[in-house]
Amino acid sequence: MNKNLIHILTCLTLILLFSSQLLAQDFTLEITIENQPDNVITLGEVKGDKFTPIDSVQAVNKVVRFTFPGNAHAGVYRLILGQTLVAKVMNEAPQQLDLIFNKENIILETDFNAPEDKLQVILSEENRVWHEFKRREILFREELNTVEKEVDYYSGKSNSEKLAASIESYNRLQKRRDEFISEITDKNNELLASKMILLFREPFLDGYLSPELRKKIFQTEYLRNKDFTNDTLVYSQVYTDIIFSYLVSFNQKNYTPVQRENEYKKAVDIVLPATNQNPKVYEFILDYLIHGFEVLQMGNVLSYIGENYAETVCKTDEKTTLERKLLLYKMSPGTEVPDFTLNDINGDPVTLSEVQKEKTLLLFWASWCPHCNEMIPYIKSWIKQQNTPVEVVAISLDTSAEEWKNAIANLKTGAWFNVSDLQKWDGQVATDYNIYATPTLFVIDKNRKIIAMPVTTKDLAELRL
């Protein structure tokens, strides 16, 4: 009995030891690069349109090796190979190569001058399947775009034979593409690459329909039945590529800014409900949309998202950056901002309601913020141009009293009410006002209601008080 027990315990120990070794197993990436210049090559993770470097090495005899630790997450990673001579002169982007890592060793061969086109996958099922799809997808896209233009061209002509031939070709290409996606994913359904490829499926758009009707079907059907539950795919550009392609369909060159914003609001109302299948994926896509509309400076779309979708994210004890973004954009003109009391540079308390005037500018800034230091002189000039006196309350997100005071002296803003709790983003006022970036500006009236929230110097220049 004791011998049996010892035998069982020994087996269990060996199993646990073997399992832990498997869990801790490292994986290697080896890539041979012809014509690789003598520079450092960087490996980083991809998360939507963001890239984060994680390691750098020097190529030795055209060969580069990286190690993925056993706990490295699956997803898309990017190799930055360096700039070509032309790219250096023209200040263009460096050569790069994206690859999938999913707990397997990877061996690749390519050429620095054409990393994607010359890529050969020696070892890695994930990358073999993914890059086979990418190459075929490029060809399908080129053919479909060409034939669709022919369909639209002949639709306005009297040559019915050429129109019919173009439509048949267009419809046949769509079916071939869909069959290819089915075939490659069915054969490799356990791969991460297949999960990514399936997201590129598109609705069938019959060439016999008008361009307007095809567009409507695309907008109605494109996001249906897509899987937004796989949070591993957050570590790739697949979700963001899909959302970007969808948004593009809502834009037209002849739209006015107001028309364009209204169309994007319609798109938002389709994208966000369709993608709300997994909290992590949903918040990732929501953040991507907000960032995109910030870049486009579409304040009305951002306010619309804040007003309608601020309550759709998971609430936490401490506000996340995404929560702050949504709630900040919910603070539209007419919203009453909260009162507060903070100490000034002398340690004396300053209460907003006691110092505010007919018009008051609230400026959230920091000495370490270069954009703040650029905007403050412009704010000083703007104030002088106003017909109504403007009081300024500058709330610093500094943590160092010395750096804060030095910045005030250098920027010559001593006439303002300069206040801070020296707690950066964690201060109560920064939290109450949903501050996630600096500079952030609020122009308020005597009732502490928002008149405007200028973002750029252009916004400020257009604001007259």
Q: What is the DSSP string of 259-284?
A: HHHHHHHHHHHHHHHHHTTSHHHHHH
Neighbouring-strand partners of residue 76:
100
- pLDDT attached to residue 60: 82
- The tens digit of pLDDT for each residue in 30-80 reads 999 999 998 899 999 999 999 999 999 988 889 999 999 999 999 999 999
pTM of the full structure? 0.82
Specify whether the CB–CB gap between 98 and 82 falls below 8 A: no
Q: Which bin fits 329, alpha (ψ -120 to 50), beta or left (φ > 0)?
A: alpha
* pLDDT tens string 266-297: 999 999 999 999 999 999 999 999 999 999 98
What pLDDT is stored for residue 144 in this prediction?
97
The predicted model gives 397-422 an average pLDDT of 95
Residue range 94-113: mean pLDDT, rounded: 97
Alpha carbon distance 365, 384 (integer Å): 20
| pLDDT digit string, tens, across residues 129-165 | 999 999 999 999 999 999 999 999 998 777 788 999 9
Q: What is the pLDDT of residues 305-352, one digit of tens each?
A: 999 998 888 766 566 888 899 999 989 899 999 999 999 999 999 999
Unique residue bearing structure tokens 């070892």: 123
Residue 312: what pLDDT? Answer: 87
Residue 22 has pLDDT above 70, yes or no: no
Spatial CA neighbour of 371 closest among 278, 251, 460 = 460
Q: How much is the CA Rg of the chain, to the nearest whole Å?
A: 28
What pLDDT score does 158 carry?
A: 72
Q: Which two three-digit tokens encode residue 246?
A: 């969808």
Mean predicted lDDT score pLDDT of the chain? 92
pLDDT in tens, 156-200: 777 788 999 999 999 999 999 999 999 999 999 999 999 999 999
pLDDT of residue 16: 54
CB 51 within 8 Å of CB 44: yes
Instruction: Answer whether residue 14 shows pLDDT above 70.
Output: no
How does residue 9 score in pLDDT terms, banded at 50, 70 and 90?
low
pLDDT of 336-394, one tens digit each? 999 999 999 999 999 999 999 999 999 999 999 999 999 999 999 999 998 889 999 99
Residue 6: the pLDDT is: 59
> Would you state the structure tokens that stand for residue 349, as one six-digit string?
């308390």
Domains in the chain and their CATH numbers? Answer: 27-123 (2.60.40.1120), 127-145+179-330 (no CATH), 341-461 (3.40.30.10)
